[in-house]
Structure formats: C-alpha cells, structure tokens
Structure 1
Amino acid sequence: MEVFLARLPPIDEDQLRKELKPHLEALSISEYYCSKPRGKDIAWVRFVDASDGSRFLQRHGELLPSDGRSAFLRASSRRLLIANSLVVAKESNRQLDEKFLDHLKLEQKRRAEKAQKADRKNQPAAASSSFTVSSVACGKNIFVQKDSQLSFVSQTSTSTSCCAKITRRALIVGSDADGFRIDIPYNIIQDFIVAWQCQKITLVLTEAPRFYEIVKSQTVDANYELMEKRGWARETHFAKLPGHTRCVPQCLVYQFQVADQDFEQLVRRWTNQKYVSITRYDLLAEPYTGIPDDFYASWMKVFESELKDPTRHRGLPFPFLFQVQGLVWNNYLHPSDGHRMLEGMAGAIRVCRAKGAGLPFSVESMKRLRQRIPYPCPGVEPGQLDVSELLEIILNKEIIPSKGGTPQSECYRTTLPSHQAWVMRAIVTPTRILLDGPDPESKNQILRKYSHYADYFLRCSFCDEDGQDLAFNPNVLNDRIYDRYKEVMRAGIQIADRRYMFLGFSHSSLRAHSVWFMAPFMDDKWGLQSCSSVIRGLGDFDAIRVPAKCAARIGQAFSETPFSVPVSSLGIGSRSIPDVKSKDGSRVFSDGVGTISAEAMELFWEYLPPQLKTTAPTCFQIRWAGAKGMIALDSSLKGKVFCIRNESMRKFISSDVAEMGICDTSSRPLRLWLNRPMIKILEDMGTNPEWFLELQKKELENLRAVTVDIAKTSVFLRQQSIATPMGFPSFLKHLDGIDIDYRDDDFMRAVVENTVLRELRSLRHKARIPVNKGVTLFGIMDETGFLKENEVYITFDKSQEKISRLPREGPVLVTRSPALHPGDIQLVQLARPPKDSPLWDLQNCIVFSQHGERDVPSKLSGGDLDGDIYNVIWDSEAMPKKPFDPADYPRVTAPTLDRPVTSRDIIDFFINFMKTDILGLIATRHVTMADYNTEGTLSSECLDLAELHSTAVDSSKTGIPVDNRSLPKAPRYRPDFLSPATPLKVYDIGQVELNEEDDDDGDDDGMGVVKHRYYESKKILGRLYRSVDEKKIWAEDVKQHDRAEGGDIWEELLSIPKTLVWKNKLDVDYKRQTDKAWEIRNMYESSVSDLMYQFSENPRRPISEVEVFCGFILDRHGKQTRRQRDLSSKLREEIDRTMSWIVKMMQDPEGDEGEDSVSRQKGVLELCWACLVVGCVDDNERMNSEYTVGGLRSFRILAAGCVFKQLELFLSMIPQDGKEPATGGFVGVRGGSGGKKVTLPLR
C-alpha cells in the first residue's frame, strides 16, 4: 500500500524519514519506504505489507467530515504530526510500481542477512561521531635538529569554528551550514595522531583532501522566474586558510583543534569504531621551534630558483634534476632538504669526474631511494629523513645491474629493448603536480624519431587526487578544477631549467585523459625543435579546420607502435589503390584496410619479437606517412609492396615515409567473452536463456576446481598468462609430481587465489562468460570478391585451447563491442573459398564481403576495418529467433573554424572532452533501462541512449559532446546486478579476503548524490548475477585449504638438488656462484619493487608483489577502473620482460647462447642452485641488506623453476653407471624433512 502525505513543512527526505520513524516504530512497522520530491510539500510512504499501511492510516489518516466534503484543507482533520506541523495522510491513488515492490522485497532480504551477520558477530552497527572543531592548520611535520623531537610546523591556519563528523569512510570537516567542507577519506590517512593535553588531532596524509564550497547560482523555474540555487563546487584549496594555494601541494599535514569538553570519550569512541588506527603522541608545536611562518614557502622559492638556473649543478644530468624536483613536489623531501640533496649529488659527481670514474649513482638507485623515505610520523627516527644519510644510501650502496649491451645513457644502469624508451611522467591533480619516473614505455612515432632526446618529452595525466578520473556528479561543479587543468596545459610545467609545453595526444590517451608535453631542444643537426616544428615535421594539418579532428590526426603520431619496419631501406614499395564502395557510393566496404604482398610480409616478420615472429601474422595494424589502418596479406601481389587506400586510410599528407609503425598484429586468435550489453541484446533477440546459464555454470565449475585439481590449476594459470616466462603454471604441476602442495606456500597460494578471485568477480559483476564456440578476430575485406553479400570467411589458429573448431558452413553471429543497439549483433553466413583462393593464406581474421548495399562492419555499432576486432559465435544453441535491423545514424557535421587550428583550440577541446566524457554513464543508464523496461533494448529510451552513445564515441573526432541533460531520466530503482562489489581486505603478502562489513554507508554524504536502490531483476542478467555467490565460493572452494603440518616446503625443495648431486656423485657446488646469485636476486627484486611503485596510482602506496607477479591490479573496492585496466595491461608486459631477463641470466649467464656442453651446463646448474639458496635466505640474514629491497618472496619461485629444469637437462647429459644419459625423471630420490619419495617429471 502507498500513503500520500501533503502540507508538509519545508524538510528534506532524510528529515521526513527521521520524523516518521517514531510513529512507525510505535506500530511495529519496519518495512516501509518514503520518497519526497525536493522543494515540494508532498511525499509518499510505501508499505511492503498492505496491513501495515492500513494500521498507519487508522491511527494517522485524515478524518472525513460527516457531510462527506473534502477535509484536505481543514487542519482539524489531520492527525499526523511532522516537525511540529499537522499534515495530511491518506491512501494514494497512484498505481504501485512493480519494480518498487521488487526493491522492497530485496531490501527486506538484505536486511535480514545483515541482521543475521550482526548477530553472529555480536556487534551493533557503528554510528557516526560528530564533534566541533575550533581551528584548522595546514603544515608539515619536521625534525628541527638531527636529534630533536618531531614537530608540527604550521604554514597557514584559521580559527573558523565548524562541525566535523567521522563517518564510515571519511572524516568530514564542515557542512552545508558552514558553507564549506573538507573530505578526508580514511585510506589517505597515513597517521591519525591524537594529542591529549591540547585536544588536537593531527592527520598525516598521503594525498590532499577534497575541498568544497557552497556556491550560489541563478536558474529559471517552471514559471520563468529567476530563483537562487545553492550547490557544492569542488575547489583547489581551502579558502578559509590564508595563502593555502601556496602550500596546499606539498603540505599534507592537517591539524584540528577539538572544542568538545569530553575529548577522552570522543577518542575512545573513535578507537572502538576502528575506522582508522589512532596514535597517541604530543607533537611539538611551532611556538617551541622558533621557525618562521613562511619557512616552507621561502625555501621552495630558493629550491625552484636554483633548479631553473642552468649555471648551477652543470655536472648533474637532467634526469637527476627531474627526480630531485619530484622528491620535493611529491612530498618526500622538504625544499631545504632538496637543496642540500642537489649540492651533495653535484659534489659527488665532481669528485668522480676528477678521478675519471663514472656516475656514483643512477636513475634506478634514485627511484629506490624514494621507496626508503618514510612519512614524518611518530616512530620515525630523525636520521631516516636526514639528507646526508639518504645520500650515503645512493652513493655507497649503489646497485649496478646490467641487462647486457651498452647503456643508452650513463644515468641509467638498465638497457631497454629497442621498442622502449625512458619516459618521464607528470600527474596533474586538483591541488598539485606530481613527477614520476623515468619509466620504460613503448615508443611511438615521435619517441622513435627523437630517440636520443626522450627526456625532452613528458607524459602528463589529469586526474583526481587518488589517480582516478575526476568523478562526475551533477550536483557538484568541477569548473574550477578544469580551469586549473587548462591553466597547466596553456602555461606548461617548469621542471628544472626546462619548460614543457603541450604537444598532443593519441585517441587512447584522450580517453585516458593523458597528453604529451615537450621542452625545446637542439637536435643533432643543430636545429631547434619545438612543439610547432615537431608537428610540422609530421605533416600538413592546415587544411583540417575542426579542432577535434586535427587533434586526432596529429595524435596518430602518438599511438604506441612497439615495432617499426624501415620500409624504405628494405626496398618495400607502396601503391595507392581505390576504395571499394557500394553502387551508390554511400558505403565504403574497404574502410581502413589495405594489402601487402607475401614477400614484403616476410620482411615485416624479421622486425617482430621472437614470440610474434613464430606465429607468422598476416594482418598488421599500421601507422605510416599520415595513413592508419590495417594491411592484410594478398598473396596475388608480386614483389615487395604494400597498398594503401588514400581515401579511407590516408588522414593527412606527410613526407615521413621511411618507417612504418606497427601497433598490433593478428598473431593469435582471442577468446570470446560475453558481456552485459551483448547478453541483453541476445536475450531480446530470443536466444535461449538456458544457454547463458549453462555457459556460466561450466565456468563456475572450472573456477571451483582450480584450487583443488592441480592439473586444472596449471591449465587455468596458463590460460590467464600468469608468470608464463618462468613456467609458473608447469612449476606448480611439477611440485605436485613430487608430493609438494603449492598451497602450503603463502605466496603461491595468494597468486592462484587472486587470479581466481579476479575471474570470479568478473563473472558475477560483469557477466564476463567465456564462449568456446566463439572467437575474437581482426576484421578485413575480401579482396578477391568471392564472398557474396552477408557472407564471411573466418580463419584462426586451431591449436588454441578453449576455442572449438569452426563448422564448414552455417549461420554465425557477429558483433563488436560496445553493442547497445539491438541491431549491433547480426547473423551472417559462413563460406568456404575455392582451393586456389588467396583467402586460404590468411590467418587469425574475419573476412567480410565487398558486395551488397551496406558493409557488415558498419552495421555493428559503426565499425570499420582500421583495426577493429569482431566477436563471432557459431554455437547453434545461441542462435536467436528474431534478428533486428542495424542502426543507421546520420553523419554529424562538426563546426569548422575559419582559420587553421591552434594548440589553444586543441587544449580547449581536450578540457571540454574531459568535462563531457560520460560514455560510462550512458552505458550504465542503458543497461539499467534495458532491464527496467519490458521492451528491453527495443524501448525508446534505450534506442535514444544507443544513439547518444554513438555521438559520445564520435565526439573524440567531431568535438560535439553529449549534454547529460539530454539523457533519458534514470529509473528510481536499479537492477540488483548493478550493486557494488564486496570490498577487499589486502594483506602485506598480497593475500586477500572479502570484507564482510556492510559496504552500504548509511551516512548521508551531503552532496546530493542519489543513494541507489535496487530490485531483484527477473531477466537473464539478474539470474546470472544471483547464480554466482562469490562469498560462498570463496569460503568453500577457494579458501578451504588448511596448511599442512610439518616443515617448510622450501626446506624440502632445497634438499632435492643437494640429494641428487650427492647420489650421482657430481662435481657441482652452488657456493662457487653465490656472489653472482646475490647480484641476480638484487636485480630482480629491485625491478619488482620499481614496478610495485610505478604501477600504483599513488606513488607512495605500492601495489603488492603478488599483483606484480600476476601482472594485474586487483581493485580493493569492486571492479577495476579504466585506469587500472590500462595499467594492468602495461604491468603484464613489464613483469614478463623482467622474468624473461632474469631467467635468461640464470640459464645463459654468459649471454652468448653457446653450445650445451657438460661443463657449460654444470656452471648454469651451479648458478641456478645458488639462486635458489639465496632466494630462500630471510631478510634478516641476507647479504647487503642495507641496500636491498627486502620483504619480497617471488625470486625463489623463479629460481626453483630454473634449477629443476637445469637438473633434468644436466643429468640427461651425464652417463650413469655406464648407461646412456637419463631421459626420464628423477626416480627414487628422497628429500626434505619428510623423507618422501620424489619423482621429478620432465617438462
């Protein structure tokens, strides 16, 4: 039942709920829901049980007069008192929303589960704590003298009195009534220091708080009258603090004076809530230190002026200046310490130069130094922050790793592969600029062209303080943040004596809100290179008068092209061929794809890395001379030639024709994974729901078996590409062969569990379900003309696991992500070409026909052939009953300028794109409306959203954004499958647990953010979501293993080589290689530690070693963000490269890949064995512990894999007892404290 309330006083929905609570509790009513439109005096109260509504009206409903006339206007007829006002209460005449009833049932179920959980824990729900703050100060914690006590030095303060509140997730200082607020999430609090005597709390933060102010604006109401509107605006600083803009970037210690009388009770309450750990410590305050108020600001001026002066520290190469400036800007060092650091480093270099020696430190050692600098918190010793002692670390304890070859620069001890360059990075947030790197990244056309000047280029990202995109909230204005971003892009970034100015961005980096900056330099021909000259060198862009399109064309040079082919020096020619169009010329069937001859293709292979060269790809995604797209093998072409279609591929005129950049290749087929939009469209097309459920059931069974069946564990890890360069999947299987359970090692168990959890959460929260009778491939066009309209030819490597064989003929489904329109999935027919057709020479691609009225790719959410990948399904159970016509949106004409585009135009476009980038919002609204409406994706709202999504996708090239006000209004309720994921608790070693605490924050955030309400979806996405009980599977199938009693598995593994050497009477002694083994361990762990910091969104909070080892970042709060997905992709590449390098150092220490002689292999075996031994040494016992990273666990896994492989190889070369060399495993070896019989099978 629904009850209508009217004549309400001016209160909001939350206040109404509080006012109603005692009335309803008196009637023992707990299941209800109230909603109140903002600014109106009416509301509705809905009851799950109709009898509850009747009882409420019996007591509080309006009294009808005896004459039967309406009592609506009579106050005497009202019996419900709300905020001291009598209000009307009567039965509503609205029809109850079915989704509302589903919502109430779901809420009832969830409340019961929470109550049950609370009963088990016997813990009441914690309430928020409010208190009064009488003053706020911002400054730094420092040690005034080397042996002094830690002191807080205020740089700015205010006596403004305000309220503060501790909620579940943040400390909030200020409120709507105060006109401002400061949000400090707990996860950025490094230390929460409480001083009892003076009633102060001091927060040492890892990043800046979020600052807000109430702003007033005017709007027009329904009667066309001006009305004042109040709302929140995000700020770059706290305006109440005088001069806060000067110190907000690096002063991350905030102190609050608490005015409450019972401070002790308040602290006790905070302690019991356990939201944050509390440190009791009396910091010295500035009256006792005698330090002036402008101590920080004055030293920052000195430091930055010194860096800008090119005559100072001439002997200090720029990468070190960049890193020291980063130490200061990133809040590692005080500017005065940065000044002393520069002087000490320059002096050390002068001493080394005088002796004719090289540099006494490197970029790598400086990066590791950064990891050693602690936060200035209680418990930290003054010496840990003393510059002279920090200098000692890098000067005397320098690790000198070498990956072979000649270093590119004396600043670096590491030689990168030819396709990578050292890249410096800047991160611009609402309050500060952070500097990070240099780190290795794949080259693009610019970095390849100016490879000797890489440090003159700077990758710059724009994000929130936590490294994520600036959150979109329609109730919070972010204009001042975007104004700051624009100011940085226009003014540039001053780093030492260089000013980096905006240069450009690729399409992918635009989506990632990242750009390239550049500082001017003199090239090797004494020509001055600046932003304008570099862009002129790319081509002629004057004819392009649309800023977005001009930016996209310039951006082709910034697309990552890991490999390049010197086509000119190889004598590979180019031709221009016409596009293939429909009869009326309106459709381009060859949009974005050209051809290449077999002879030229084979030359291309020589410039690919070994793992790609062996796959012999026949399709290449390229960038060349202003052209972009695909070139695919046409074996009918003769000679060394490739063909470009100027109309669809050539985007601008360029004379830079010497090299062709390769972005990607068709080296292997990709497995097909369903997603929510695809599943919803298939459901609307009539695909049997049981097909989805059966696929999900199979995947769930596989995941459940991963941690139980070692064979499935190995296969699963190999499919997920976890540590494959060192053979980790096979290593676990080999451990099982010698009766060792990998789960008895915390680290290896964490690796498997993290990987299973990632897939389990993707299965539940993304509906990411694998399809064996499906594949994902690059799309190209049939150059032969054999395929008829609506026919395709599909070819892929049949050796790939988990991809079933393709039928010879029949219907297949083809689509492309993102698919939102019901016609974005099409039925086409398989065809087999004649035996002598050139199509047979292609591999790992889907070939579309060049005949018909419209090309198939354009039917699939506006696809083309310039590098798009297509999903294909041939499972007969998936075939739909009713396919739909594809979308056909009109082409959007972008407004043009009457002059050439300038960099300011492109900057304005970039900022506006960030402001209006709501692709994610549109996609979420679409999947919500598709489930909410009976018509699904065919509903008018979903069709409108699909078109808006297409407009938003194209806005990166048209510059025409989507106005969020044009989106169909969101339903009041969301389907349950959009509920947030359970947060994770992550422990030091990388082990994770699902957080059992209630993740629904009951506190009002005060920002007008809608608290989503959910209903139980009856459609297929809801059924799939509820079929995966991640908590149950995690507890019963993944975490059920109990560690075996007895010795450490590493003691047992260490005994195996010793036993085998003794039994076979071999002259093998690992001690001869111990020093080299320590060097390798230090190199590996230094690299892993660098990756832990490099791929963290906060430079001072590293990701775990397990995440680095796995090659993906596990989000603590639910599903991965876009930035985390991008970082994970690069992390996988880097850890694979590191593992390959270390394994090669163990197995080929000489670096010459010489003959496999017995003496050579004996030395390799000794080194691998020594690596295993030193890898098992605890940090307390290890050599050179003062400069090694410490606390890492994965090196011994790499070493163990290498030593056992080497043992088998070596013993197979040694005749035993006059017999031929062994060819099998090590049978009958007993090792370890348990004295088991060990059989080590061959790989």
Structure 2
Amino acid sequence: MEVIVRNLDQHMTESRVEKFFKPILKSYGIDHFHCQKLKAKGCATFTVLDPLKCQRFLYFHGQVQPGRKGFNAVRRKLFIQKNPVNCMVSTNAPNEWIVFALRKEESDRHAALSRKALTPGKVESRSEVLRPRAFDISRMQVGQLWYSGGNLVFSDNYADHRTGRIIFGSRSLLIKLWPMQPGQAHYQLQIWYDSIESFVVGDNCVTLSLIQAPRLFENLDGDISLEASLRKALGIQAGPTFKPMQSFKRTRLSALNDKHREVVASCFCYRLTLTSLTDSRAVQGLKGFEGIPNIVIWNIPVQLDIPIPEQMAALQCGLAEVRYGGAMPFEVKFQLQKLAQNTYLKPTKVIELFPCVRSHLRERSVAIVASALRHLASSIPFAGPDAEEENFKVNTLTSLLQKSIESVFEDDPYSLRLAEEHDHIAMVHKALVTPTGIFLYGPEPETKNRILRKYSTHLDNFISVSFVDENYEHLRFERDTSSEDIYQRRFQGILDGFITIAGRNYEFLGFSHSSLRGKSLPFYDLARVRQPEHGHAEWM
C-alpha cells in the first residue's frame, strides 16, 4: 500500500523523511517500508507491505479531506519543524519490485529471529524460549464486543464446544480444535498478531477482538482423494500406481460449518475458555514476547443479544422497504449498509440512524450526505477496553454526522467535484469478496469504459468487485494447502449468484474458472446490476 505525504520542506532529503517516519511506523508494527522523495516540491511517498498496518496508521494520522479543516479532523497530527504534514492514501498502485523487495526483507528478518531463538545465548533468552506458549481450551465462542449499562460485554453468536489448544507463535497464534469423534478431521484457525485490535485476558478465558476474520483450515491426512480415504478405512493396500503429482496437508475453508458461516463475516471477536484456571496468569506472562499485542486484564461478562443474522436481515428489510429506506437514494443506503456490513456499528444501531439521515437529506444534497456517512465510518472507534459506551450512543453518532456534513459542505472535497468536472471519470462503488465475507467500499473515481459511457445516467447500477484474501491482498498459492473450497464453492458461488446491496441484487456473468486461480485472480471486475425492469445483466 502506498501513502503520499505532502507539505514537506522542499529541502528535506529522502533520508530525513525516512528517519522521521521510521519510529512512527514502527509503533504500528511496520518495521520495513520504502520511502521515495518525489519531484514535486514538498511531496514524498512510502510503501508499506501490510495494508492492514498501513490502514491503522492512516486511521490515526491520515487526512481524509483536503484543506485546513481536513487536517484539524486528524486524530493524531504530525508536524515536521512545526509544519503540518498531510498523509493520504496514494491513488497509484505500489510498484511491484518495491513490494517484492519489502517482502524479501520481511522474510529475512523473521528467519533471523527464528535462528536467534534456537541459538543458546543469554540466560534471559533461554528462559523466554522455555516459557509455555501453548494452552488447552475447552470451548470457543464467536461474537461481538458491545456495551450494556456502561459495561463492556461479549454477545455470543456461535459456540463450538470442541476441546482444543491455543498456540502463540512468532507472528501469529493458532487455534486447534480437536475432533469430537475418532476419524473426524480437526480444524485450525490462524490469527495474525497484526489483525488483533484488543487482547483481553480474564479469570479463565482469552478474548481476542480482530479487525479481520481468521484464516480457517481443515487438516487432512496426506492424500485428499476419496478413494485413498476409503482404502485406508477398509485396510486395503493400494496397488502399484503412480504417485500423485501433488498432495495437500490441509484445505482452506470459508467457515467451520453452516452455523459459523452465518456469523464469520460479521463477528470478529473470539472468546477462548481455558481448561486450567492457572493458565490465565501464564498467558499474561507472554507480554515479553516480540510481536504479541498489548495484553489487557479484564473480566468481560457474556450477555445474550439479538443474533447478528437477524439484525442484518432487519437492516436489509429496512433499506428495501419504502417506509424505512425507500425514500433514500442508493448512494446513502450503500453507506448505511457499509456501516453494519463492515462491522463499524451493529445493524440495530444503523437502523436507529435512519430518521436522522432522512432529515439531513431534506436539507442537503445526496452527495454531501453520502460523503458524510462515509467519513463517519472513520470516526467510529473499535468497541473494546479503549472505548466507552458514550461513543456508540445515537446522540453521539448523530452529532458526529452533523459535524461531518458541515465539514463536507464547507470544504467541497475534490472527490465530489471530480466526476462533475471530467466526463471521463465516474464514481464507482466497490465490493471486496474474501474467503469469509463481502465488504463494501467507495465510491471511488475510475476511468469510464465503453459500458459506463453508454449507461452514464445509471452509474449506480454498476459496482466494482474484487476477489481477495482476508488482508485484501491476492489469494496466494501455498504448497501444502488446497484452496479448492475457496475457489469452487465460495468464489464460484458468488459468481453464480448475486450480491445484495440495499435491496438490489448485483449479478455476475462471463467469468472463467481459470481466471480465479493463483496470480490471475482479478482485482477489479466491473459488473452491471440486474435491473428488475429489464431482467438482464451484462459484463462491462
């Protein structure tokens, strides 16, 4: 991911810019980045390998709107020699060779850390290596962190009563779930430390609040073919056959089961019950390990709530029905659904914002209200120990929306005028399809193609769709992992079906199976929505 920095002193060298940003980026887990001073006066760019870390940096230091008011809205302002620094996402894609070099540096760094851990050294290092990093669990729950009566609570939406084990590695933690009966497969959940927003340890449980879904796997016993599994179950030896060209040790999954599939894209909080009561103190002792997030000691109670699937269904009905959302244009309803679907707010909380949004639409233009809702998402904190219930009350949210509308109206952002001033530019809404869910973004400016030029008065009938991994990168090939379930069931199921956004069903046609494999995975594919009055869909 590339970030552009403006308003720098034109006499600053590239090394000075890198020296200034190095400690700041390191505080967000970014150890390696590439800085480059541009020919334009006072501008520079730096490329970060992990987009999630970069988004967290921009969440605090990024400037969404141009101008002085845009800088005043930055949570943590940056200054170089008393001059304000403007950090924004670059519109250019990062250079492939720079990304390759950063990936090599990151790989070399972790290899060096592994060798250092295995090499006898100081007494403190050996004791740190011998400290327990694996703990047995008796249950796993999936839900959301929210507030009730001023207290932080955990709302349970899915419970897996299989026993297992949680293992803390150097870069990620692994949750293993053992089979309940002999002969069944066991599952694994991989959670990168960079994706953990809060790490809470209670009396006998560990609660992990994430910013993305974990990677899910089903472990396989060598050959994955049905014939081989039947021969092994019946005790029949195979004859002299050719050795298969490739066998997998595990397969990538989109969900653990059907119940988990209903909540995996909406519930990013995992609560693990420890088998031994003494393991809580041992988990708290992991603070000294490199890479492990900050551990908070807090007993979070469990409280029942309306299941998330029912809340999402109520929101979809509210956006589709005339009495609730029919009077609102699609651009606004898209941003409202994004607040819930991207887990910024609970769906019931988004429904409570409907009257306020409709009142603003009577006074302001559709573009201003939609842009204000988009900026509202970046102003909402993550629910957890660092936030308070007051931040999520309707009065607070409506006040934030009012300030955002006033800011957008006064500043007149460049993005609102871009499509109006240039005929070849269109503002296109986007959807990211991951192995576990669908997330909404945009609209963002894109160059019109022949279909967008032909249907220039119906731009809302088109969305840009990307098939990516959980960290928004390409789904990469892994030698020991089969991704057939993701390609054939998850992605192909989306292509054969449709995506529902604010009462509209966006349908995809014209994809080939080979285009979803490996490096040929498409990043942006524009599809025309199936219009109810025509009943026809067409690829752009």
TM-score, normalised to structure 1's length? Answer: 0.30
Partner of 1:172: 174
Name the SS for the 1:531 alignment partner: coil
> Which residue of 260, 270, 285 corresponds with 1:269?
285
Q: How far 1:342 moved relative to its partner?
A: 2.4
SS, match of residue 155 in structure 2: strand
Local SS of the residue matching 1:157:
strand
Question: Residues 266 and 493 from structure 1, CA distance in 2 versus in 1: closer, same or farther, beyond 3 angstroms?
Answer: same
Q: How does 1:198-209 map to 2 (within 5 A)?
A: 199-209=204-214
Q: Secondary structure at the match of 1:238?
A: coil
Give the equivalent residue in structure 1 for 2:260: 244
Q: Please show how residues 320-335 of structure 1 align to structure 2 within 5 Å.
A: 320-335=332-347
Distance in 1, Cα, partners of 2:346 & 2:274: 28
Q: C-alpha deviations, 1:471-497, integer Å up to 9, x for none?
A: 212422212211111111111111112
**Residue identity matched to 2:135:** F
The residue correspondences of 1:304-703 to structure 2 (distance < 5 A) are: 304-310=316-322, 312-350=324-362, 352=363, 358=365, 361-398=368-405, 399=407, 400=409, 401-402=411-412, 415=420, 417-482=422-487, 483-503=489-509, 511-521=521-531, 528=534, 530-532=536-538
Contact map agreement 1:420 1:442 (CA 8 A) in 2: yes
Deviation at 1:234, TM superposition (A): 1.4
1:217 aligned to 2:222?
A: no
Structure 2: gaps spanning 5 or more residues: 1-107, 180-184, 229-237
Structure 2 Cα separation of the partners of residues 458 and 138 of structure 1: 31
Q: CA deviation at 1:260?
A: 2.3
Alignment match of 2:141 (pick from 137, 142, 155): 137
Distance 1:477 1:156 in 2: 26
Determine the C-alpha separation between the residues in 1 that align with 2:112 and 2:297: 39
1:500 and 1:404 map into 2 onto residues whose CA distance is 29
3-state DSSP of counterpart to 1:336: helix
How big is the shift at 1:459? Answer: 0.7
1:234 matched to 2:252? The reply is: yes
Kindly report which structure 2 residues correspond to 1:513-912, keeping only aligned pairs within 5 A, or say none.
513-521=523-531, 528=534, 530-532=536-538
Offset of 1:185 from its aligned partner? 1.1
> Does the 8 Å contact 1:349/1:360 carry over to 2?
no
TM-fit CA distance, 1:284: 2.1
**Contact 2:139–2:272 (8 Å) recurs in 1:** yes
Shift of 1:437: 0.6
Contact 1:141 1:376 in 2 (8 A): yes
Partner of 1:126: 129
Gaps of 5+ in 1: 1-105, 536-557, 559-1243
Relative to structure 1, the CA distance from residue 193 to residue 414 in structure 2 (aligned partners, 3 Å threshold; closer, same or farther) is farther
Change beyond 3 A, Cα 1:231–1:341: same
What whole-Å deviation, never above 9, does each CA across 1:905-959 have from its counterpart, x for those lacking one?
A: xxxxxxxxxxxxxxxxxxxxxxxxxxxxxxxxxxxxxxxxxxxxxxxxxxxxxxx
Q: CA RMSD in A?
A: 3.6
Secondary structure of 2:325's partner?
A: coil
Return the offset for 1:111: 10
Checking the alignment, whether the CA contact within 8 Å between 2:495 and 2:509 is kept in structure 1 is: no
For the residues of structure 1 that align with 2:474 and 2:366, how far apart are their CA atoms? 39
Partner of 1:1143: none
Q: What are the superposed Cα offsets for residues 70-100 of structure 1, whole Å, 9 maximum, x if unpaired? A: xxxxxxxxxxxxxxxxxxxxxxxxxxxxxxx
Give yes or no for contact 1:428–1:460 (8 Å, CA) kept in 2: yes
- When normalised by structure 2's length, the TM-score is 0.66
1:160 maps to 162
Larger radius of gyration: 1
- Deviation digits for residues 854-896 of structure 1, max 9, x if unmatched? xxxxxxxxxxxxxxxxxxxxxxxxxxxxxxxxxxxxxxxxxxx
Cα separation, partners in 2 of 1:510 and 1:416, compared to 1, 3 Å: farther
Q: What is the CA deviation profile of residues 274-328 of structure 1, one whole-angstrom value per residue up to 9, with x for unaligned ones?
A: 4221011121212xxxx34x43222222111122235543331111101111111
Do 1:505 and 1:514's aligned partners in 2 also have CA atoms closer than 8 Å?
no
Cα distance in 1, alignment partners of residues 147 and 477 from structure 2: 41
The answer to whether the Cα contact below 8 Å between 1:402 and 1:414 also exists between their aligned partners in 2 is no
User: Conserved in 1, the CA contact under 8 Å of 2:376 and 2:404?
Assistant: no
Contact kept? 2:266, 2:308, Cα under 8 Å: no
Say if 2:133 is the partner of 1:149. no
SS in 2 for 1:247: coil
Q: Which amino acid aligns with 1:332?
A: Y
Amino acid at match of 1:517: A
Give the drift of 1:209: 0.8
Tell me which residue corresponds to 2:299. 282
Identical pairs, percent:
23
Q: Deviations over 1:456-482 (max 9, x none)?
A: 111101111111222212422212211
Counterpart secondary structure, 1:362: helix
CA distance, structure 2, for counterparts of residue 115 and residue 183 of structure 1: 22
Task: Give the Cα separation in 1 of the matches to 2:424 and 2:310.
Answer: 43
When residues 115 and 518 of structure 1 are mapped into structure 2, their CA distance, relative to the original with a 3 A threshold, is closer
Whether contact under 8 Å (2:135, 2:279) holds in the other structure is: no
- Specify whether residues 232 and 417 from structure 1 end up closer, same or farther in structure 2 by C-alpha distance, changes over 3 A only: same
Higher strand fraction: Structure 1 or Structure 2? 2
- Give the Cα–Cα distance (whole angstroms) in 1 for the partners of residues 537 and 123 of structure 2: 62
Distance in 2, Cα, partners of 1:265 & 1:394 = 43
Spell out, residue by residue over 1:551-594, the C-alpha distance to the aligned partner (whole angstroms, 9 max, x if none).
xxxxxxx5xxxxxxxxxxxxxxxxxxxxxxxxxxxxxxxxxxxx
Shift of 1:194: 0.7
* Whole-Å separation in 2 of the counterparts to 1:112 and 1:362: 51
CA distance in 1 between partners of 2:501 and 2:350 (Å): 14
Structure 1 Cα separation of the partners of residues 357 and 450 of structure 2 = 34
How much does 1:349 deviate? 2.5
* Contact 1:361 1:394 survives alignment (8 Å): no
| Letter in structure 2 aligned against 1:500 | Y
Structure 1 distance, partners of 2:485, 2:251, is 8
Work out the CA distance in 1 between the residues paired with 2:214 and 2:170. 16
Deviation at 1:333, TM superposition (A): 1.0
What is the CA–CA distance in structure 2 between the aligned matches of 1:251 and 1:382, rounded to whole Å? 19
SS at match of 1:347: helix
Q: CA deviation at 1:122?
A: 6.9
Q: Tell me the CA shift for residue 222 of structure 1.
A: 6.5
Distance 1:172-1:323 versus aligned 2 partners, 3 A rule: same
* SS of the residue 2:212 aligns to: coil
8 Å contact from structure 1 (residues 191, 204) kept in 2: yes
1:217 aligned partner, one-letter code: S
Cα pair distance change 1:416/1:511, threshold 3 Å: farther
Structure 1 residue identity aligned to 2:450 = Q
2:189 and 2:216 in contact (8 A); partners too: yes
TM-superposition CA deviations, 1:219-247 (whole Å, max 9, x none): 676613999x88412111123xx721111
Q: Is the 8 A contact 1:504 1:515 kept in 2?
A: no
SS of 1:140 mapped into structure 2:
strand
> 1:986-997 maps to which residues of 2 (within 5 A)?
none
**Higher relative contact order at CA 8 Å, sep ≥6: structure 1 or structure 2?**
2
Q: Which runs of 4+ in 1 moved over 4 A?
A: 109-122, 175-178, 219-222, 357-361, 413-416, 503-511
| Distance in 2, Cα, partners of 1:416 & 1:135 | 57
Distance (whole Å) between structure 2 residues aligned to residue 176 and residue 200 of structure 1: 18
In the alignment, is the contact (CA less than 8 A) between 1:503 and 1:516 conserved in 2? no
Q: How many residues align?
A: 401
CA distance in 2, matches of 1:111, 1:466: 24
Inter-partner Cα distance in structure 1 for 2:486 and 2:477: 12
1:635-678 Cα deviation digits (max 9, x unpaired): xxxxxxxxxxxxxxxxxxxxxxxxxxxxxxxxxxxxxxxxxxxx
- Secondary structure, counterpart of 1:470 in structure 2: coil
